[in-house]
Structure 1
Amino acid sequence: MICKNTFKRLFFIALLFVSTTLAAQNTVVTGVVTDAGNKKPLGFVSVSFTGSTIGTNTNDAGQFSLRSAKPYTQLKVTYLGYKDAVVAVVPGKEQVINIRLFPSAQQLNEVTIQAGKRPKYTNKDNPAVELIRKVIANKDKNRPENYNYVEYKEYDKMQFSLSNLSDKISEKKFFRKYKFVFENRDSTSYAGKNLLPIYLVEKLSQVYYRKNPEVTKTVLLGEKGVNFGPAVDNEGVGQYFKHLYEKVDIYTNSIYLLGRQFLSPIADAAPTYYKFFITDTITTADNKKLVQLSFTPRNTNDVLFEGDIYITLDGNYAVQKAGLTINKNINVNFVRSMHVDQDFELNPDGRYHLSKSNTYADFGVSANRKGGLFGIRTLTYKNYIVNKYQPDVLYTPDINLEDDEVKHRSEQFWAENRLDTLTTAESKVYKNIDSLTHMPSFRRTADLVTLLFAGYKGFGKFEVGPASTFYSFNPIEGFRLRIGGRTTPELSKRYYFEGYGAYGFKDERWKYMLAATYSFNAKSVYKFPQDYLRVSFQRDTKIPGQELQFISEDNILLSFKRGTNDKYLYNDQYKIDYVHELENHLSFNFGARKWVQTPAGSLYPFQNGPSTIFNNLTTTEFSAGIRYAPNEQFYQGKLFRIPIINKYPIISLDYTAGLKNVLDGQYSYQKLRARFDKRFYIAPFGFSDVTLEGGRIFGTVPYPLLDIHRANQTYAYVIDSYNLMNFLEFVSDRYASINIDQHFGGFFFNKVPLFKKLKWRETASFKALYGGLGNNNNPALNSSVYQFPTDGNGVPITYALGNKPYMEASVGVENIFKFVRVDLVKRLSYLDHPDVAPFGVRVKIKFDF
């Protein structure tokens, strides 16, 4: 059981993400804007504090809400075709002001003719649309990539805070020891938000761009961030937050935020999906003319923005300022609001470059405006230089500074080079978190939370886990217990050791794995770029066609399987692997393996005739591979890394050679495999993950060495497997496949009130596998190879693909309860095989925004 004090500490961690509303002395105005004639609400009316840049637009119901910590005394309300309105405001108070707008004379005539109806929005003869088309036509010349050379300094600050946390929490007896943390508040930076910073990372970089040949080089000059201690994966947290808050380039067609692809308001197709309105004409302090262009989605359920952009009238039609707000009606989890503000500065040649981009979001479990998490990413650009030639050597990939030097810059360095200022609360967060992590009570609690959520229990130089594999079961081993662990970088950054031991109570056999890894670049073997040599031995069971992984093969959740599941192999693998990654994300791998396979369950024994029996199959292999994943990013942790899927392709090619009479190898053969993966973003229709794969085997081999296609007999939906194919059902010595997994992100369901309220999202998939088997590898035509397995009645259970492909398709719903995906899968071919299901329901667990 968890003791009382430990429970309190766990409660403290959880309570950091729950709070109550804190009243602030701000000017808060809410209300509804209506047509003075017909009393109908007016959507997308511009409402702002007079003399400020703080403004908003009304929603479809005419509602608006404005907040400011400054004592503004007036509201200005403007809408195309209506007279401007200026309304008095009481500063420092919360108030409701409903506003009626009177049509201009010309608009009044139109209203009279149309019996009080507003004119239908159209792109034809619309000056706002004509203006946005000029912006689109001039996009390329207004981007930095239009120059031959560009260089600048980039300051990247990412901060997360608990918002509107009650003052009373620090007075609780248990939390008094942490009072110094709760007192560090910021109530002035964002209207209506009382922020308690808990996470802060700063990075300063020098960026160089060259157009021909195109290359961008970023040199990290300094990095500084909070450290929650060894129990928390600080790098992994940072990479995850950074992925949510990608850099925003308004000149691209799509803008990536929160794992979703938003159509930019100046995308090529923007006039098709957005409504545009000329809201105002502004003269800047240097006497330049700007047009304030407001925009809103035509369909408020689509993954689009709303807001304002300010366009220059100097012939360049450049964006000089932008305010983008995520449309609140779209299907996004836990995000109450998200906003992007961008400012552009003038270059000597009269064009503009991005000088500051500020993205902030309010996260919370509930939709109300109480406590939650408030995240801010601010990017500041200075020392902007264009068309300054730099020698080619500057653009070659290298690492100019060691990580330790970059991460231990002095306070004087940051005071002299920080391109933005820290708030008082931000400046204290480093010291506060450092003090917190040195408190034994906090460290014990964080360690326990890591075990509960990550599955590992840390002991400094090593850790035990994962907890999900401690117990599992299968028909061959029966009840299976396992314990494992691995060393951490605290022991060494060059040497890593990992292993596990397991015991099956039915077969009464021990299974185990031992591995030792040496890192040549003195970095964690989980960090990019990898450069390591690993030696390992593993003795364990596996299902033919399933990859034998060190960690996940005996996860308790995968123990539940459908149909007959008694086709197993005992495996002994002796392996040597070398992996080398380059800075350009091109990687190479080389390996050697001795592999002994022993049949178990209904696969026993191997035989190539009625009387010739083989107790095991021994092979010796040499392998080599190449992989290219341009611009690949990772959720990078101390002891793991998970690729972040983006728009760039991943291409891999692998070669394996079987060596006969080497270390008892029984067969000589060659295998080739190629794979292509890419995510295609189709804003606003979501995205599609596409995988193309092909393979070829040269030589004569028994069926355990053929390509045994990835089947799935669990009740989980597995993206990379055939979910209605039985284990060992199909084998090939040549094959090609396509896998398409489409996520619509609620594009259709958002138009159905019930589904929209539930925030369900649609999915669809299609998988096709073409393949075949040469006469030399077909036991019906060549008696020297192993006979295919049969069931107890002698009916074959393994087949070669014929003239038609294996196909299956699915439709599904994801985001059920925020993390469940359910698919109805239909098998489309080879329905005459025994024990196959034409339909199936499969479930996948995946958290996503």
Structure 2
Amino acid sequence: MDFKNFYKSLFLLILFFSASSLFAQTTVITGTVTDASNKQTLPYVAVSFTGTTIGVPTDNNGKYRLSTTNATLKQIKISFLGYKDAFLSVEPGKEQVINVKLFPSAKQLNEVVIKSGKKPKYRNKDNPAVELIRQVIENKPKNRPEAYDYVEYREYDKMMFGFINVSAAFSDRKFFKKYKFIIDNRDSSILPGKSILPVYLDEKLSQNYYRKNPEKKREVILGQRGVNFGPAVDNEGVKQYFKHLYNNVDIYDNDIFLITSQFLSPISNNSPNYYKFFITDTITDAKNQKLVELSFTPRNSNDVLFEGMIYITLDGNYAVQKAVLKINKHININFIRSMEVDLDFEQNPDNRYHLSRSNTIAEFGATKKEGKSGLLGMRTITYKNYVVNHPRPDTAYTKQSEESTDEAKSRPASFWEHNRLDTLTTAESKVYKNVDSLRNMPSYKRTVDIATLLLAGYKGFGKFEIGPANTFYSFNPVEGLRLRIGGRTTPELSKRYYFETYAAYGFKDEKWKYFLSATYSLNNKSIYKFPQNYIRVSYQKDTKIPGANLQFVQEDNFLLSFKRGTNDKYLYNDFYRLDYVHELESHLSFSGGFKNWRQSPAGSLYFNNTINGQPNSINALTTTELTGSIRWSPHEEFYQGKIYRVPIPNKYPTLELDYAAGVKNLFNGQYNYQKLDFRIDKRLYLSQLGYSDISLAAGKIFGTVPFPLLTIHQANQTYAYDIDSYNLMNFMEFVSDHYESFRIDHHFGGFFFNKVPLLKKLKWREVFSAKVLYGGLTDRNNPALHPSLYQFPVDDKGVPLTYTLDRTPYVEGSVGIENIFKFIRIDYVRRFNYLDHPDVPRDGIRVRVKFDF
């Protein structure tokens, strides 16, 4: 359920506008361009409206689609090197098909040798286009900015999102008249042929410094400005996610990350294995420098690859002087109708080239059908004032303590007018004021309130909100029907003090459960915002399944009430806690705390041991712990939801070390022990082979403890596929006092299915996972050797239900298909050993819901 809140909000808005939009009259022309002499299709032919810059190239099959809302354009021009230009009339405001035959401009030989009716097979061998691209690849290192010892430049970054083709008649409808000031703010100059209604804008101006040896990078933010949709929306998280979709594009990288997908660069080291290259023209730029126009297209149209053109210098450096990167309509990416990246380069004094402007524009929609309403996003980055090989003092490359981002965020409008490296359109310049006015409208607040209840599960009442709604009703074998009501305060009450509570009642066990916490923010910022710095005291009395720790959700979520097998071993827990959390801007975080924990068996679970040869029943186990944790997640970004943070994946690892010490006789604590747990998570990008989410973990307990305090390995008896749990392991099936684990969840992204004709149309994607768990129990914690320790549970026939791992690791794996109906993943999961344990499944089908591109 990754990016759950954000995706649902995004598509709610898209569908909202889809239902009622009226579209402007558009001229749409489609067709195929062929060679008149041999009837073969011609790729990369330029098709444009005569006298304008509105045009498109034909694709690899000679097909094109051209559109405009300008009713005065009545003629198109078709031109291609080596062929005569063609001029054809079109009918404005209509959809029409115009197929074109181009005639060669040079005389043809009278003798023609016909070998076959098939097109000549494309080959890399003896292909001058491929030889040229290999020269570009060979010279990549010296054409990157990092080739210089010192580089500095100013950067202006603008991100805009808007709705497409919202008709003027839309604002005249009775319900939407109050929003007329927003709906009428349309712009047809941003993208030729489309009317854009901007609703989101973010700007950043920065000065950047780079030093090669020792390598240092520093960004000084001079100004930052963005729209604010109100406290119900994590505005900073929205910005981070949008920039995650529109990453900086460096064509010299082997892989380019865009729209949560990894594209292979056309000048990647192995690009000739995935792309077809064609030399389509030779031109001369404004400085009389000769450039080769090199066109390229994917060998497989479903693969995550670009098509387009790059312009290469012939000065011996083989540098990229300009690039146009597009995607085709068959690509295996959801909700993207079109995307184009335009890269422009300028010449340095030493005649090398640096990136001067990057413009990424993409059109989103619930379907890929053209002409429907949707969303358009554009990120434009402008680079100016390049200085190379000019050393600065060491302080220029190191972040200074006096730098203040708060000052950069409060720049007046006059600052932006004088310092922008680009211009805003008239419609863009009105976005800030329009969103501010919208945010203060009662109807907008009501709409956000309803959306927050439906999507996040909370109903706001100003200083207090009730939720989450999906926990109001649930059931389990111990409590039977369980009803719960709860809520928490909001920053409207205070940015320093926060309170949260809930009460629940089980109709079968006839017991009340409740929770109460009070939090004090030490940095006078919301405790839900980064960086967190707070102290919290809390008390909780509730049930818990031993070993269950489901990601992002509460155990009393209604959907998790449905479980396989026997799951009636519960705990009644009483927690008294004191927690301190401190996050640093570097994404290094610390936490510490105190916990007094009383756990009593519930359901069919029991605590028994033997004292002086006699069986003994234990009502409760009390533990007092001192805890500490350190976590480092460099460059971490996330969207802050109402209940939890949703991390935005990147290539950097996350490391966490947790420590706990049990203290005997402190607040009735019964055991002395120490516990260490370490975990590292990393997403590994493998270019066209997709990506892997890898996790390594290890832990050890020092001391003698009863089995409820051992590591109870994380099982999952629901029918949902849980990434972090063992999906065919029963609750409480395995315990250890030392363990090591490995998990890999690999997503191929359609690498194999894209090559199968019947499957490529479905756009399904392959996925597999493997989970390996080593562990064991030392003699000091083995109840078979020490009867005074709690005995492992057995069923009513005396068959053991809880085990330790021997020298053989627990192994389970799965193969699956994701992107079914664009959001469903189905896995066939197989358990490979320990199959002699009672009531364990050998295999099973599990489902996961995931919204992704």
What is the TM-score when the length of structure 1 is the normalising length?
A: 0.93
Do the aligned partners of 2:329 and 2:368 also contact (CA within 8 Å) in 1?
A: no
Do the aligned partners of 2:185 and 2:198 also contact (CA within 8 Å) in 1?
A: yes
Using the TM superposition, name which of 765-774 and 633-642 deviates more.
633-642
User: What is the aligned partner in structure 1 of residue 628 from structure 2?
Assistant: 624
Write the distance in 1 (CA, Å) between the matches of 2:109 and 2:779.
Answer: 84
Using the TM superposition, name which of 12-21 and 828-837 deviates more.
12-21
* Alpha-carbon spacing, 1:549–1:640, altered in 2? closer, same or farther (3 Å): closer
1:493-550 C-alpha deviation (Å, 9 max, x unpaired) = 3333222222222222222222222333323223333332222222211111124999
Q: Residue 251 of structure 2 aligns to a residue in which SS?
A: coil
Write the distance in 2 (CA, Å) between the matches of 1:156 and 1:484.
Answer: 42
Query: Structure 1 residue 125 and structure 2 residue 129: aligned?
Result: no
Note the 1:270-669 alignment, pairs <5 A: 270-369=271-370, 370-397=372-399, 400=402, 402=404, 404-547=406-549, 552-608=554-610, 611-636=615-640, 640-669=644-673
Write the distance in 2 (CA, Å) between the matches of 1:472 and 1:631.
Answer: 38
Note the 1:808-827 alignment, pairs <5 A: 808-827=812-831
Q: Which amino acid aligns with 2:64?
A: F
Write the distance in 2 (CA, Å) between the matches of 1:167 and 1:374.
Answer: 18
* Alpha-carbon spacing, 1:272–1:551, altered in 2? closer, same or farther (3 Å): closer
Write the distance in 1 (CA, Å) between the matches of 2:382 and 2:826.
Answer: 43
* Alpha-carbon spacing, 1:496–1:215, altered in 2? closer, same or farther (3 Å): farther
User: What is the aligned partner in structure 2 of residue 5 from structure 1?
Assistant: none
Deviation at 1:795, TM superposition (A): 0.7
User: What is the aligned partner in structure 2 of residue 148 from structure 1?
Assistant: 149
Write the distance in 2 (CA, Å) between the matches of 1:769 and 1:637.
Answer: 32
1:82-110 C-alpha deviation (Å, 9 max, x unpaired) = x3331125589466543334579899799
Do the aligned partners of 1:47 and 1:78 also contact (CA within 8 Å) in 2?
A: no
Note the 1:652-801 alignment, pairs <5 A: 652-801=656-805
Using the TM superposition, name which of 43-52 and 301-310 deviates more.
43-52
Do the aligned partners of 1:222 and 1:407 also contact (CA within 8 Å) in 2?
A: yes
Write the distance in 1 (CA, Å) between the matches of 2:216 and 2:249.
Answer: 19
Note the 1:138-287 alignment, pairs <5 A: 138-287=139-288
Q: Which amino acid aligns with 1:843?
A: V
Deviation at 1:76, TM superposition (A): 4.7
* Alpha-carbon spacing, 1:90–1:580, altered in 2? closer, same or farther (3 Å): same
Do the aligned partners of 2:216 and 2:398 also contact (CA within 8 Å) in 1?
A: no
1:660-710 C-alpha deviation (Å, 9 max, x unpaired) = 222222112222212121111122121111111111112211111111110
Using the TM superposition, name which of 735-744 and 359-368 deviates more.
359-368
Write the distance in 2 (CA, Å) between the matches of 1:99 and 1:146.
Answer: 47
Using the TM superposition, name which of 83-92 and 503-512 deviates more.
83-92
Write the distance in 1 (CA, Å) between the matches of 2:42 and 2:111.
Answer: 16
Q: Which amino acid aligns with 1:556?
A: F
Write the distance in 2 (CA, Å) between the matches of 1:47 and 1:355.
Answer: 27
Deviation at 1:717, TM superposition (A): 0.3
Q: Which amino acid aligns with 1:673?
A: D
* Alpha-carbon spacing, 1:692–1:109, altered in 2? closer, same or farther (3 Å): farther
Write the distance in 1 (CA, Å) between the matches of 2:291 and 2:538.
Answer: 66
What is the total number of aligned residue pairs between the two structures? 836
Q: Residue 175 of structure 1 aligns to a residue in which SS?
A: helix
Do the aligned partners of 2:308 and 2:324 also contact (CA within 8 Å) in 1?
A: yes
* Alpha-carbon spacing, 1:767–1:491, altered in 2? closer, same or farther (3 Å): same
Write the distance in 2 (CA, Å) between the matches of 1:663 and 1:131.
Answer: 75
Q: Residue 611 of structure 1 aligns to a residue in which SS?
A: strand
Q: Residue 178 of structure 2 aligns to a residue in which SS?
A: helix
Q: Residue 450 of structure 1 aligns to a residue in which SS?
A: helix
Write the distance in 1 (CA, Å) between the matches of 2:747 and 2:407.
Answer: 43
Q: Which amino acid aligns with 1:32?
A: T
Write the distance in 2 (CA, Å) between the matches of 1:65 and 1:710.
Answer: 53
Write the distance in 2 (CA, Å) between the matches of 1:776 and 1:650.
Answer: 33
Q: Residue 16 of structure 1 aligns to a residue in which SS?
A: helix
Write the distance in 1 (CA, Å) between the matches of 2:112 and 2:799.
Answer: 79
1:624-674 C-alpha deviation (Å, 9 max, x unpaired) = 222221221112468753211111111222222222222222112222212
Using the TM superposition, name which of 432-441 and 276-285 deviates more.
432-441
Write the distance in 2 (CA, Å) between the matches of 1:495 and 1:432.
Answer: 32
Query: Structure 1 residue 841 and structure 2 residue 833: aligned?
Result: no
Write the distance in 2 (CA, Å) between the matches of 1:527 and 1:442.
Answer: 23
Write the distance in 2 (CA, Å) between the matches of 1:60 and 1:347.
Answer: 35
* Alpha-carbon spacing, 1:778–1:418, altered in 2? closer, same or farther (3 Å): same
* Alpha-carbon spacing, 1:384–1:110, altered in 2? closer, same or farther (3 Å): farther
* Alpha-carbon spacing, 1:153–1:391, altered in 2? closer, same or farther (3 Å): same
* Alpha-carbon spacing, 1:275–1:663, altered in 2? closer, same or farther (3 Å): same
Note the 1:60-139 alignment, pairs <5 A: 60-67=60-67, 75-78=77-80, 83-90=82-89, 93=92, 96-101=97-102, 112-139=113-140
What is the TM-score when the length of structure 2 is the normalising length?
A: 0.93
* Alpha-carbon spacing, 1:508–1:214, altered in 2? closer, same or farther (3 Å): farther
Q: Which amino acid aligns with 2:382?
A: T
User: What is the aligned partner in structure 1 of residue 6 from structure 2?
Assistant: none
In structure 1, runs of 5+ residues without a counterpart are 1-9
* Alpha-carbon spacing, 1:181–1:113, altered in 2? closer, same or farther (3 Å): same
Write the distance in 1 (CA, Å) between the matches of 2:151 and 2:385.
Answer: 10
* Alpha-carbon spacing, 1:283–1:619, altered in 2? closer, same or farther (3 Å): same
Do the aligned partners of 1:46 and 1:279 also contact (CA within 8 Å) in 2?
A: no
1:157-211 C-alpha deviation (Å, 9 max, x unpaired) = 1111111123322222222222222211111221221111111122222222222
Do the aligned partners of 2:550 and 2:725 also contact (CA within 8 Å) in 1?
A: no
Do the aligned partners of 1:33 and 1:98 also contact (CA within 8 Å) in 2?
A: yes
Write the distance in 2 (CA, Å) between the matches of 1:513 and 1:755.
Answer: 50
Write the distance in 2 (CA, Å) between the matches of 1:296 and 1:252.
Answer: 18
Write the distance in 1 (CA, Å) between the matches of 2:669 and 2:552.
Answer: 24
Using the TM superposition, name which of 486-495 and 96-105 deviates more.
96-105
* Alpha-carbon spacing, 1:524–1:383, altered in 2? closer, same or farther (3 Å): farther
Do the aligned partners of 1:129 and 1:276 also contact (CA within 8 Å) in 2?
A: yes
* Alpha-carbon spacing, 1:402–1:798, altered in 2? closer, same or farther (3 Å): same
Deviation at 1:797, TM superposition (A): 0.3
Q: Residue 161 of structure 2 aligns to a residue in which SS?
A: strand
* Alpha-carbon spacing, 1:637–1:427, altered in 2? closer, same or farther (3 Å): farther
Q: Residue 800 of structure 1 aligns to a residue in which SS?
A: coil
Deviation at 1:442, TM superposition (A): 2.3
Write the distance in 2 (CA, Å) between the matches of 1:374 and 1:549.
Answer: 32
Do the aligned partners of 1:74 and 1:86 also contact (CA within 8 Å) in 2?
A: no
1:555-593 C-alpha deviation (Å, 9 max, x unpaired) = 111111111011111111222222223333222222222
User: What is the aligned partner in structure 2 of residue 806 from structure 1?
Assistant: 810
Using the TM superposition, name which of 786-795 and 178-187 deviates more.
178-187
Q: Which amino acid aligns with 1:432?
A: N
Q: Which amino acid aligns with 1:86?
A: D
* Alpha-carbon spacing, 1:384–1:488, altered in 2? closer, same or farther (3 Å): farther
Q: Residue 174 of structure 2 aligns to a residue in which SS?
A: coil
In structure 2, runs of 5+ residues without a counterpart are 1-10
